[in-house]
Amino acid sequence: MGRATRELLSRWNFCSELLLCWRTRSLHGPCPVTTFGPKACMLQNPKTIMHIQDPASQRLTWNKPPKSVLVIKKIRDASLLQPFKELCMYLTEENNMIVYVEKKVLEDPAIANDENFGPVKKKFCTFREDYDDISNQIDFIICLGGDGTLLYASSLFQGSVPPVMAFHLGSLGFLTPFNFENFQSQVTQVIEGNAALVLRSRLKVKVVKEHREKTTVQNGIEENGVVSANLEKEVGKQIMQYQVLNEVVVDRGPSSYLSNVDVFLDGHLITTVQGDGVIVSTPTGSTAYAAAAGASMIHPNVPAIMITPICPHSLSFRPIVVPAGVELKIMLSPDARNTAWVSFDGRKRQEICHGDSISITTSCYPLPSICFRDPVSDWFESLAECLHWNVRKKQNNFTVEEEEF
């Protein structure tokens, strides 16, 4: 190597180090050096699996101006009626938006009997869950309530999900960063495309069941009248697929026996869970049931899947974090004494028998959640607020106990 070449490489290395020093607000670590010692280096792989943009720079933009919005309201909550009406009137009258709402929301007597709200209500487009497919008709989503409204929004879109703007009107929430006081200006910013995004990964779940009874499926509706969304039939097998935002929970159900399930990672048996069950969660779900079961809280931009046992019989089994690209499979252990039950974000609960399997991997369809500030500030502020809320709740409980004493 000539002197000129060495000087050029030295300058290049200095410039690279200088650029790395100037990087700020990135949630990723610095780009790793791929040369190791004087002779070793990383083999360049031409097959790029996934490119992750720096989360701090993820911004919302529109290819065309948004025209339709889905408004999701927590059902049977009287405190949300006025915010719901104000929001819908602002969207229809001020922004000329097409508003979609679930049919059962308008069946609330307080809305149905409000004559002043009648002209606005006539402009709504309604749908019924499990019957009407609105996935290609919605430009963005607004949720009014707690974290459950965001989970419900996710369940409505088994493919690509429109951007979701969640207002905090529930009791406690990690996923709802917006306050409703200034909703007009905040909604306007979203419509104009001036907002940050956090991509919340979802789980792609495939449940394969041994065919045990004869069912007739016509036009996607079974004999019992239940829509069979994402259901396929194979000879002797029934396959169902789900997109899950928080977690897949496998538990022992009503049985008094411990559940006994085998967990496979990319085809290899890693453990047998003997206990009340196991939770497979996304980073978003790490602050939900998994946190209550003793797992760590993971920032939603960390590409990972968490496996958390529920009251394990073995003291050596602790929560495990695995890369987002692996495929997990859960099956009943051959010597299990009873069946297990599985639910997906608390919904679609069903029994798992011997021979059935649950395959889980990271979905290619994340949920784009609109941030109040940025992915860093929003998550840590919600974490601090929720932890502080728990402290205040404990203090209030202690005060009540002291007064009673």
Residue 139 — left, alpha, or beta (φ > 0 → left; ψ -120 to 50 → alpha)? alpha
Q: Which of 66, 10, 55 has the alpha carbon at shortest distance from 28?
A: 55
Q: Which of 341, 361, 347, 316 has the alpha carbon at shortest distance from 148?
A: 347
Q: Which of 404, 378, 194 has the alpha carbon at shortest distance from 299?
A: 378
Spatial separation of the C-alpha atoms in residues 369 and 367, rounded to whole Å: 6
At residue 228, the 3 state secondary structure works out as coil
Catalytic residue among 139, 147, 345, 356: 147
Q: Which of 329, 325, 207 has the alpha carbon at shortest distance from 263?
A: 329
The one-character DSSP state at 218 is B
- Show Cβ contacts of residue 136 under 8 Å, excluding neighbours closer than 6 positions: none
Spatial separation of the C-alpha atoms in residues 181 and 49, rounded to whole Å: 43
Residue 147 appears among annotated catalytic residues: yes
Spatial separation of the C-alpha atoms in residues 340 and 260, rounded to whole Å: 8
**Which two tokens mark 164?**
């979701």
Q: How many CB atoms lie within 10 A of CB 313?
A: 13
The one-character DSSP state at 105 is H
User: Which positions are annotated as active-site residues?
Assistant: 147
